[in-house]
Amino acid sequence: MRDLTLGFSPCPNDTYIFHALVHGLVETPGLAFRERLEDVETLNRLALEGVLDVSKVSYHALGFLRDEYLLLRSGGALGRGCGPLVVTKGAGSMKDLRGKPIAVPGRYTTAALLLRLFDPSLDNLVYLPFNEIMAGVARGEFAAGVIIHESRFTFPEYGLTKLLDLGAWWEGETGCPIPLGGIVARRSLGRETVAAIDAALRASVAHARSNPSAASAYIRAHSQEMSDEVCAAHIGLYVNDFSLQLGAEGELAVAALLGRAEAAGVIPRSVAPLFG
């Protein structure tokens, strides 16, 4: 039995997707997984340090990982209408934010990448855990914040308003869905093992979609601060057909994001094949 470290976030979409895999409800021939649940920026940094065999990472972080990790085609977060939001306490425009502090949920998050692609002059970025951003903006510590995850549903409770939907901007610019986070596996595991992991993960997504209540206790155990309604909305927003299989449209979207990030000098160029 090959024992692999597996990192993913405690967010409802990830616990929903990985539940069957880590609870032995799908076949994982010759493989065993030791789960590690961390916020997305911690996962990005653990992968950059080479700590994890398999992990959820931001697509921004993937730009720095391509020589060591392969991207899997299943289990990720990619879609339409689900991108990061720029929120503020008062009215204004994105140009008004130039030179002012903007809270961003981690240096290697796709949220940070999208903001840089939108306007490179927005460079006074303060990196915070995603769940601290709305309160900081509400207290006036930052001119704006870039929010992700369930914050998309709860920012009005903090008296904040949406200034820009970065996902909608991306879709309008490219016509592509927005790649947020994907699953990577070490190249050194070998193609056969990576393919088996991808197949097992695809089966885990399929199991979750066929048995939507099976993961409920596991999801709630890791999201006790969220209401049932927010949990359901979170899963509904971030889990879709692309989570089961990227497909041609998803792969094109990933290539577009990485290509633009390379052209902007935000990530290093790489000639390594992205998939196994």
CATH of the domain at 40: 3.40.190.10
Is the pLDDT reported for residue 231 higher than 80? Answer: yes
Average pLDDT in the 26-32 region?
93
* Domain closes at, from 125, 142, 174: 174
Closest CA to 168 of 61, 58, 85, 236: 85
Could you tell me if 68 and 20 lie in one domain? Answer: yes
The helix/strand/coil state of 109 is: coil
Distances (CA, A) of 224 to 13, 134, 218, 219, 220: 14, 19, 10, 9, 6
* Alpha-carbon torsion (207, 17, 183, 176), positive or negative: positive
Report helix angle 110-118 to 166-174, nearest 10.
60
Closest CA to 196 of 41, 35, 53, 42: 53
Please state, in angstroms and rounded to a whole number, the distance separating the CA atoms of residues 190 and 183: 16
- Is 89 flagged in the annotation as binding? no
pLDDT computed for residue 154 by the predictor: 87
- Is 162 flagged in the annotation as binding? no
* Domain closes at, from 141, 174, 207: 174
Is the pLDDT reported for residue 226 higher than 90? Answer: no
* Alpha-carbon torsion (234, 240, 244, 247), positive or negative: negative
- Is 188 flagged in the annotation as binding? no
274: in domain: no
Please state, in angstroms and rounded to a whole number, the distance separating the CA atoms of residues 95 and 226: 34
Please state, in angstroms and rounded to a whole number, the distance separating the CA atoms of residues 254 and 180: 9
What is the band of 227 on the pLDDT scale with cuts at 50, 70, 90? confident
- Is 58 flagged in the annotation as binding? yes
Could you tell me if 156 and 208 lie in one domain? Answer: no
- Is 213 flagged in the annotation as binding? no
Average pLDDT in the 3-31 region?
95
Q: Any alpha helices (H) in 34-91, and if so which ranges?
A: 40-48, 59-65
Q: pLDDT tens across 172-223, in order?
A: 999 999 999 999 999 999 999 999 999 999 999 999 999 989 999 999 999 8
Could you tell me if 72 and 121 lie in one domain? Answer: no
Q: Which domain holds residue 74?
A: 2-78+179-263
What is the band of 228 on the pLDDT scale with cuts at 50, 70, 90? confident
Is the pLDDT reported for residue 224 higher than 80? Answer: no
Pairing of strands 2-8, 54-58: parallel
Q: pLDDT tens across 49-71, in order?
A: 999 999 999 999 999 999 999 99
Active site residue 234: no
Could you tell me if 105 and 48 lie in one domain? Answer: no
Q: pLDDT tens across 96-141, in order?
A: 999 999 999 999 999 999 999 999 999 999 999 988 999 999 999 9
pLDDT computed for residue 17 by the predictor: 97
Tokens 């990192």, residue located: 7
272: in domain: no
Could you tell me if 97 and 139 lie in one domain? Answer: yes
Helix, strand, coil share (%) of the chain residues, nearest 5:
45, 20, 35
Count of domains for the chain: 2
Could you tell me if 203 and 73 lie in one domain? Answer: yes
Better-scored residue on pLDDT, 212 or 261: 261
Could you tell me if 188 and 169 lie in one domain? Answer: no
Could you tell me if 244 and 109 lie in one domain? Answer: no
Q: Which of 149, 207, 222, 234 is catalytic?
A: 149
Is the pLDDT reported for residue 152 higher than 90? Answer: no
Could you tell me if 91 and 43 lie in one domain? Answer: no
Could you tell me if 55 and 188 lie in one domain? Answer: yes
Share the mean pLDDT of the chain: 95
Please state, in angstroms and rounded to a whole number, the distance separating the CA atoms of residues 130 and 136: 11
* Domain closes at, from 155, 174, 193: 174
pTM of the model: 0.95
Could you tell me if 186 and 259 lie in one domain? Answer: yes
pLDDT computed for residue 133 by the predictor: 96
Could you tell me if 66 and 96 lie in one domain? Answer: no
Question: Would you mind telling me the total number of residues written for the chain in this entry?
Answer: 276
Residue 271 burial (CB count, 10 A): 6
Please state, in angstroms and rounded to a whole number, the distance separating the CA atoms of residues 207 and 187: 27
Please state, in angstroms and rounded to a whole number, the distance separating the CA atoms of residues 66 and 217: 35
